């Protein structure tokens, strides 16, 4: 497996501040991921949404990506029904590169 030289290796015990956001289609997944991250001791900045009520994904993905770009969070996770819309939105923020990942092998 090829790993680029610029990939930052994290220690298993590294605690991070992680921004997370989703639309209504991924709300339940966001809540599961958020709980897992908090259980592992990470600080989670939640940019919504807060229910399964219909929302526009850029309203949540954009502030999440901006928080990472500003250094307010070390990493960001954005989710939506397909993952495509939030990836495109996050990548529009200067300094952010967001890629769609659906399986551990492609991550």
76-102 burial, b if ≥16 CB within 10 A, otherwise e? bbbbbeebebbbebbeebeebebeeee
Which residue is catalytic, options 22, 64, 80, 98? Answer: 80
- Does the annotation mark 80 as catalytic? yes
Whether residue 23 contacts residue 60, with contact meaning beta carbons closer than 8 Å, is answered with: yes
Catalytic (active-site) positions: 80
């Amino acid at each position: 497996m090829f790993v680029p030289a610029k990939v930052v290796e994290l220690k298993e015990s590294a605690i991070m501040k992680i921004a997370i956001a989703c639309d209504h289609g991924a709300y339940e997944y966001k809540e599961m991921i958020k709980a897992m991250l908090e259980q592992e001791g990470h600080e989670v900045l939640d940019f919504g949404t807060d229910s399964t009520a219909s929302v526009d994904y850029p309203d949540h993905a954009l502030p999440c990506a901006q928080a990472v770009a500003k250094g307010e969070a070390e990493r960001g996770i954005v989710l939506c029904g397909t993952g495509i819309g939030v990836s495109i939105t996050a990548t529009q923020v200067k300094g952010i590169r967001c890629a769609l990942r659906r399986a551990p092998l492609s991550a």
